[in-house]
Structure 1
Amino acid sequence: MADVVQFRLERMVDELDDLEQRGLFSRREIAEIVKQRRKYEYRLKRPSPLKQDFLEYIDVLRIMDVYEQALKRYKGDIDLWFRYLEFCRLKKNGRMKKALAKLVRFHPKVPGVWIYAAAWEFDHNLNVAAARALMQEGLRVCPTSEDLWVEYLRMELTYLNKLKARKVALGEDEGTLTSDRRAADEKQWRDENQELFMSLNENEENDKSNVESDESKKKQEVFAEHGMSIFRTIYIGAVEAVPSSLNLQKRFLEILEGIKLANSEEMCKEILSDMKRNFLTDPEFWDWLARREYNPENVQGRSEDVIIAQMQKAIQVYEEALISVPSGSMFRFYVSFLMGFITRKGGETNISGSSGQPVNYVEHLLTIFKKAEGMECLTEDLACDYLSFYLQLGQLDEARKLAEKLCCGTLGESVQLWGLRISIEMKRITRISSPSDADHLFFFELLKDILSKFPVSKSENLWEMALKFYANQTQYFDKLLEISVVSLARDGGSENGFSLSSAFVRFILQKDGIQQARDVYKRFLALPHPGLVLYRNCIDLETNLALSGDKDALMNARKLYESALATYDQDVNLWQDYHQMEIKMGTSEMATSVVWRARRTLKDAGRFIASSDLG
């Protein structure tokens, strides 16, 4: 290894001597350069060099040899290859073509490789034939790549546009493929000396002018027709290769609408017809088609008549879609569109055009919700949107009736929907100036049924809402506590995240003090599988009290650690926290005992790092 490194350093002697002779570096600086290069060369020659070693050497020296060494070892690293290509492009060292050939050989299945190679041939080498050959070869290897098809189309249209621009720049008739310089010169001379000539037949002169205009127009259309021919050919090939891609056809349509080609409107209709035939049952297609009719960005500053007309077209598309795809996802797209429009209008109920006929999109949206419900297409998300919209309109009673109806129906297992119903009932009670005992009892019984029905892991939000609502109502809070004990005995505690038992301990600590909190957490810890989160929260509680001077807290914390480790004896962090506590607040004997027990208990003792060893 040392011989190879020395050989490489000796190859640098002439270069370094030249730098010193030119006065760019002193002898001491040259020695530092040699030292740094030797360090990197040794790194690269060790048995298992890291990719980072090559990259750091490249950043320091920017030499091609290092890149080539790195690529020999990491042939499969696409990012490294592209860094190398960008370096070759910037330095213009003549190695780009060779590098691209290697990259294509090693990674023929990566579409971006073909696109990059073709772009370099097209933009930098000005070799359209080579770029076209690369794109076509790439499509043979990766026929299902949407990006390859789209970039191939863009390249061909760009080339056609360059040809047209070249014709104009050369002074030929605008947009023609052929030129007649003599005729052009003669026409220019006759135009400049028009007063020297007298027309013998004015009508004949006008006819001649019209003929010339028609000929010029025909020549201008040659490029548009050729461009359409190219577009159609590539489009047909792309659809045959990737028939199931809605996104590909959308991208082709966007390109077509952004350029001027012959019969482009007919081609747009053809593409839309193909899409409608291929994606008739795809809700995403119908949503995209409807939003083409009404785009908020395109109607800014337009009259209400125009907005209403475009909205009605979009609604017609959605109504047609519901016939073809009567599904929950289709209704969701429809609802999202209408809600977005209503939100942009600031919740305005009626919109009127010049005809004075108001269009109530709020009522129309409610009709769509009812239609989805009637067709049994009301999904969980759609039902929640339905309820939320009633609340947004301030119609609390209607929202309450609907929530009861939905929760008692096919969506009765939806926790999210029950959460909305509970929030609606809470709003109703808080709005009543003096709620009766019957109101409180009805709500609590409803809450009790829900909390008993769902496991704690799925009803976290419901429990949090209930705790906050009854935090200052001791009678109902105590009943909630009893319900929680039953639920946790059935489901067990949490190992991470939300902990219902910890939430109760926290509320009781704030409300009734530490002694009641200790009684409650001991009750929870006595249940089967109380959960690691509860242990940690109780330990933190006792540790903070110990720091504040509570004499019993340290002993309680030790008991909690011992109880937790009886179940979670392989938890390294728990052992470490126990050891840290003994160092800060306990004795050295206890800290040493914890270290000894941890290393004896843990299966992988090396994972345990005691704080006494960190120095």
Structure 2
Amino acid sequence: MADIVQQRLEDRIPALEQLERVGLFTSKEVKSMLKRSTALEYKLHRTVQSKDDFITYIQYEINVLELIKKRRARIGYHFKREEIEYPIIHRINHVFRRATTKWKEDVQLWLSQVAFNKKWGTKTQLSKVLSSMLAIHPDKPALWIMAAKCEMEDRNSSESARHLFLRALRFHPENKKVYQEYFRMELMHAEKLRKQQQELEQAKIDVGEYNFSPEILSGKLAEVVYRDAAQKIKGAEFILSLLQIAAIFDFTKELQDTILQELQSQYVDDCMMWDFMAKRELDAAGAPELQSAKGRASDTDRREERCCVVYEEALKSLNTGIMILIYYIKPYLHFFLFFDTLCGCSLFQRKERLLRVLQSAHDAKLLQESFYKNWLKVLLSSGDTVSATQIAITATQCFSQSVEMWSFSLQTLVQLESTEAGHLFQEALKHVNPKVVVVPQLTLSGTQHLTADLP
């Protein structure tokens, strides 16, 4: 062991001498570093090895690198990196390699080595580390994705990234995240080529000698990924995730249209598809000539009406309407309850649409408890006390075991000073414990109003 340690220390001497010679470290500091390194080396070569000793060694060497970097900047010396930093980086990777060989299952060790090589720009070593890591951990999709991104972003190699994604799909043929990132990578590759072509054309350089395939530039490779993914993974949610990725890039209109057409034809029974199509109508860009406030308001009304038409068509087409009703109601609750800047006409139309769909959902027995509370808020804000009283009572009949529903309805009737409050309180006593929730949540005057009607 002593011979090995001695050899390791001798290997350090040239770099340490350079540090002193160029003025980055003093003689005293070099001796201190050698002493510290000796202690660390002996720990790594003990019979019983500790992972913490390896981590401490690596961290010490990284700290030395950081200190060298700071001192170079301070004195303005930027030479002899091959003789100073490179041996340290090589040594750190060697210790990382020993650690990951002994503790193969420790993913954090692998990731630390990846992060180290990314930071210090050792691209060739980075690729080797990624390859070794994936050979040990092929069952982790996130590592494949990270490795492909490193190849794409750090090594600027789309081909290597593509190769890694294809290998990942052999291990994880139905993994959504792998397909999503592979799809994104192909679009990024096409975008990069398009920018390169544009820069060459602006510089008036003949692009004929460059291999700019029109198919690749238009995103055909991404379309191949999409079609493969769509065959293996079903569901509108996944297809929509690919559509949203494609929408990030400004050259994918044809690809988006293809995905959208297949989404509509293949997922007619999926409420997420209908929700997306409805919101798409709502988000459609208005005509540029609509500059006046009245014109914009009119356009908003038309878009909302088209959105409602899609939702109502969905309710007719789907066997179960509960989810689409939730999608349908929420936007209108948001607009009506939280926006007070609408013109009177728009506000009235939104309220009518909202009340109509709430009533339809109630009639179909599809309305959830939380929506009854919002229904009451809308009616109260509109001053419709008669309807509010009726819905407050109806809600307790639909959710007779809900303490919150009884409490909210009672508070509503007390607020309205309704003569039905006492009767509803008596009904509440039959279903829930008023001492727990109902009575404490009422005001003192409200409680007196209720008890006045009791026998």
Interval of TM-score (by shorter of Structure 1 and Structure 2): 0.7 to 0.9
Aligned pairs (5 A) from 1:255-334: 255=246, 258-260=249-251, 264-265=253-254, 267-295=255-283, 303-325=296-318, 326-334=320-328
Flag the 1:57–1:288 CA change in 2: closer, same or farther, 3 A. farther
Deviation at 1:395, TM superposition (A): 3.2
2:376 corresponds to: 387
Query: What corresponds to 1:58 in structure 2?
Result: 58
Which letter maps to 1:237? D
Q: 1:243 aligns with which of 222, 226, 234?
A: 234
Corresponding residue number in structure 1 for 2:179: 149
Q: Please state if 1:103 is matched with 2:103.
A: no
Correspondence 1:397-436 to 2 at 5 A: 397-408=386-397, 410-429=398-417
1: CA distance, partners of 2:314 / 2:205? 43
Give matches, 1:464-613, under 5 Å. 464-465=440-441, 469=444
- Taking the aligned partners of 1:316 and 1:244, their CA distance within structure 2 comes to 23
The amino acid across from 2:305 in the alignment is Q
Change in Cα spacing, 1:441 to 1:323, as seen in structure 2 (3 Å) is closer
Q: Kindly provide the amino acid, as one letter, of the partner of residue 462 in structure 1.
A: V
Deviation at 1:449, TM superposition (A): 3.5
CA distance in 2 between counterparts of 1:462 and 1:5 reads 77
Aligned counterpart in structure 1 of residue 169 of structure 2, from 134, 139, 144 = 139
Alpha-carbon shift at residue 313 of structure 1 (Å): 1.4
Cα distance between partner residues in 2 of 1:310 and 1:343: 20
Q: 1:137 to 1:365 in 2, by over 3 A?
A: same
Aligned to 1:541: none
Tell me, yes or no, if the aligned pair for 2:148 and 2:165 is still in contact at 8 Å: yes
Q: TM-score, length-normalised on structure 2?
A: 0.74
AA aligned opposite 2:164: L
Partner of 2:69: none
Letter in 2 for 1:140: R
1:462 aligned onto 2:452: no
Q: Tell me by how many angstroms 1:126 deviates.
A: 4.7
Change (3 A) 1:470 1:25: same
Q: Which has the larger radius of gyration?
A: 1
Q: Distance in 2 between matches of 1:90 and 1:417?
A: 57
- Return the alpha-carbon distance in structure 2 between the equivalents of residues 20 and 169 of structure 1: 47
Query: What CA distance in whole angstroms lies between the structure 2 residues aligned with 1:245 and 1:289?
Result: 11
Inter-partner Cα distance in structure 2 for 1:22 and 1:169: 43
- Do the aligned partners of 1:290 and 1:317 also contact (CA within 8 Å) in 2? yes
Which residue identity lines up with residue 368 of structure 2 in the other structure?
T
The answer on whether the counterparts of 1:387 and 1:399 sit within 8 Å (CA) in structure 2 is yes
Instruction: Summarize deviations over 1:515-571 as a string: whole Å, max 9, x none.
Output: xxxxxxxxxxxxxxxxxxxxxxxxxxxxxxxxxxxxxxxxxxxxxxxxxxxxxxxxx
Looking at structure 2, the residues matched to 309 and 240 of structure 1 have their Cα atoms a distance apart, in angstroms, of 37
- Per the TM alignment, residue 275 of structure 1 is displaced from its structure 2 partner at its CA by 1.9
Name which of structure 1's ranges 2-11 and 252-261 shifts more when overlaid on structure 2: 2-11
Higher relative contact order (CA 8 A, sep 6+): 2
Partner residue, 2:118: 89
Partner letter of residue 258 of structure 1? F
Shift of 1:142: 2.1
CA contact (8 A) 2:148 2:162 kept: yes
Q: Secondary structure at the match of 1:294?
A: helix
In structure 2, distance between residues paired with 1:147 and 1:58: 33
CA contact (8 A) 1:114 1:135 kept: yes
1:159, distance to aligned residue in structure 2 (A):
3.6
The separation in 2 between residues aligned to 1:348 and 1:127, in whole angstroms, is 52
Give the TM-score taking structure 1 as reference length: 0.57
Contact 1:239 1:249 in 2 (8 A): no
CA shift in 2, pair 1:359/1:248, >3 Å: same
3-state SS, counterpart of residue 465 of structure 1: coil
Query: Is the CA contact 2:274–2:311 (under 8 Å) kept in the aligned structure 1?
Result: yes
Match of 2:363 in 1: 374
Shift of 1:312: 1.4
* Residue of structure 2 in register with 1:49 after alignment: 50
- The separation in 1 between residues aligned to 2:361 and 2:446, in whole angstroms, is 39
Task: Give the counterpart letter for 1:421 in structure 2.
Answer: S
Partner SS state of residue 109, structure 1:
coil
Q: Whole-Å Cα distance in 2 between the matches of residues 370 and 40 of structure 1?
A: 75
The one-letter amino acid paired with 2:147 is A
Residue 330 (structure 2) aligns with: 336
Measured at CA, do residues 391 and 57 of structure 1 come closer, stay the same or move farther in structure 2, by a change above 3 Å? Answer: farther
Q: What one-letter code is carried by the residue in structure 2 that aligns with 1:68?
A: R
Unaligned 5+ residue runs, structure 1? 181-219, 353-357, 433-437, 480-615
How far off is 1:277 after superposition? 3.9
2:345 is paired with a residue of what secondary structure?
strand
- The structure-2 alpha-carbon separation of the partners of 1:9 and 1:175, relative to structure 1 and needing over 3 Å to count, comes to closer
SS at match of 2:251: coil
Q: 1:234 aligns to what SS in structure 2? A: helix
CA-CA distance at 1:369 after TM superposition: 0.8
CA-CA distance at 1:26 after TM superposition: 4.5
Q: How many residues align?
A: 413
Q: Residue type of the partner of 1:420?
A: F
Match of 2:354 in 1: 365
The 1:27/1:169 distance shift into structure 2, 3 A limit, reads closer
Secondary structure at 2:365 match in 1: coil
Encode CA deviations 1:279-338: one digit per residue, 9 max, x unaligned: 333333322221111129989977122212211111111111111234222212111122
Does structure 1 retain, via aligned residues, the 8 Å contact 2:183–2:225? yes
CA-CA distance at 1:15 after TM superposition: 4.4
Cα distance in 2 between the residues matched to 1:174 and 1:225: 22
Query: Kindly, what percent of the aligned residue pairs are identical?
Result: 23
